[in-house]
Structure 1
Amino acid sequence: MPTFTSNDAQINYQTFGDASKPAIVFSNSLGTNFSMWQPQIEFFSQDHFVICYDTRGHGASSAPQGPYTLDQLGQDVVNLLDHLNIEKAAFCGISMGGLTGQWLAIHHANRFSHVVVCNTAAKIGQEQAWSDRAALVREQGLAPIASTAAGRWFTEAFVQSNQAMIAKLSNDLGAGSPEGYASCCEALAKADVREQLKDITVPVLIVAGQQDPVTTVADGEFMQQRITASQLFEINASHISNIEQPEAFNQALQEFVQA
């Protein structure tokens, strides 16, 4: 699988579809890897050049010593586009990837035609809670986090009826890099773009899960009220909405990027 060097990290990525078609980049959530986008890869690679990558510290990307910053997470995406000689792309990120998307829309608007930020917020959670989680993972590894992830990610009904998929996602999390995960927690502890949302000029679609306990519909409304060219789409899902409701997610994303 191809990798490229972005500053101090080796970033694992994969492309799908025809490179002459419009490019769309997908960015994973904390504790996952790019395979979380399988329902979108299958759907969008017909009409798009789909680019997926593992955020630094995740999947098959390297996990250099942290802490990381939101600036680094965003710059990795710009460097990936440069590596692939792509001037402009659409971007879709979920949770941590959604914060990356906001940073890109603020700092590199010229590189993106559309930005989709899903199940995210302009500031996710509290700094101390992220710092505590980073310390826990460095001390005890990822097993304690992996054992409780499903309840944060999905509704109870989805967990009960999709146990094989839940097991794979939990196993992927548990097998990840504790240092990479903790370093991304430290990036999320400091990440706060609330004051910069007003500077965004790229068209933005905000996807908010109606049953998401982590990043709420209210978080989505906060962003929508401050980003001029934005729209809010509520989806009947918890935190990993692209997996829980792939059809509704894909349709909303397709309508937005084609508008």
Structure 2
Amino acid sequence: MAVVPLQYRFDGPSRAPVVLLLPDLGAKWSMWEPQMPELTRGMRVLRVNHRGHGRSPAPDGAYTVAELGGDVLALLDECELERFSVVGSGLGGMVALWLAAVESGRAHRLALLSTTTWAPPAQRWRGRGTRARTGGAVAVSDEVTRSWFTPGFAERRPDIVSRVVEEFEATGRAGYAGCCEAIAALDQRVMPARVRAPAVVISAAHDPETPPGHGRRLANALPGSRFEVVSGAAHLVNIERADRVNELLMEHIAP
């Protein structure tokens, strides 16, 4: 499959070190807004939208994480970025790990949030993709987004939850389904051994999608990595506990 030209944007000082932010499945680059004030103080932040998310095109058919990573790598080459740090959440973390392994000489620092190297059963992901392909993301919205925030946060900040759910339901059918197929076929269990960038792995204590055991196994496989469990948060830990996630990211990737 050909490389897809992704929608992207830069923020922050133009001559500062670059940090790439990769969003989760069904989320857009706006999911990183809670991190932007901190990161843009001393870094040039590059955000992208995966295939079928935002204005990124979405070819029909199943995708692979390597193809999604190839889209990002083509953008990095186009922008002539020879060195970068990368932060990814969920699907974005899978793509970030691929980049850090394939481009080990270019990846400076790596941060992986709410992600895994292997996400069985595959049929769960294929089923979500099939329902979304026929009924749109709205057809799987309740099933997916209930794992994103704890009930307490949803009660305290219904405005944030409503905005995130609205963005999810606007995700393109082909893009969402294709990315579900990428996760269904995922097996990156041997890939961490190829990573040379110092890494931090962050799990949320109440994440039903990728519980902390996933993060712990990933961190154990990454040479010299740091593992952190953040309390009081579900899957989108960077939004629900932006305070703690920002601390961890700034400690790890700030110049």
TM value normalised by structure 2:
0.95
Select 2:205's aligned residue among 183, 203, 210.
210
Alignment of 1:74-93 (within 5 A): 74-93=69-88
Distance 2:161 2:254 in 1: 32
Distance 1:75 1:104 in 2: 8
Distance 1:179 1:137 in 2: 8
- 1:35 is displaced (CA, Å) by 0.6
2:5–2:75 Cα contact (<8 Å) kept: no
Select 1:138's aligned residue among 127, 133, 138.
133
1:146–1:171 Cα contact (<8 Å) kept: no
State how many pairs are aligned.
254
Indicate whether 1:253 and 2:249 are aligned.
yes
Distance 1:95 1:37 in 2: 13
Which amino acid is 1:238 matched to?
A: A
Gaps of 5+ in 1: 1-5
TM value normalised by structure 1:
0.94
Select 1:184's aligned residue among 173, 179, 183.
179
2:20–2:84 Cα contact (<8 Å) kept: yes
1:70–1:188 Cα contact (<8 Å) kept: yes
Indicate whether 1:151 and 2:146 are aligned.
yes
Which amino acid is 2:22 matched to?
A: S
Q: Secondary structure at the match of 1:109?
A: coil
Select 1:240's aligned residue among 225, 236, 239.
236
Which amino acid is 2:155 matched to?
A: Q
1:14–1:51 Cα contact (<8 Å) kept: yes
Which amino acid is 1:245 matched to?
A: R
Taking only aligned residues, the RMSD between alpha carbons, in angstroms, comes to: 1.5
Alignment match, 2:4: 9
Indicate whether 1:50 and 2:45 are aligned.
yes
Greater Cα shift, 142-151 or 129-138? 142-151
Which amino acid is 1:254 matched to?
A: M
- 1:132 is displaced (CA, Å) by 1.1
Deviations 1:127-154 (A, max 9, x none): 1111111111112221122234432101
Distance 2:250 2:186 in 1: 28
Alignment match, 2:217: 222
Select 1:125's aligned residue among 112, 120, 124.
120
Q: Secondary structure at the match of 1:194?
A: coil
Alignment match, 1:95: 90
Instruction: Give 4+ residue runs of structure 1 displaced > 6 Å after superposition.
Output: none
Which amino acid is 1:255 matched to?
A: E
2:20–2:86 Cα contact (<8 Å) kept: yes
Gaps of 5+ in 2: none
- 1:87 is displaced (CA, Å) by 0.6
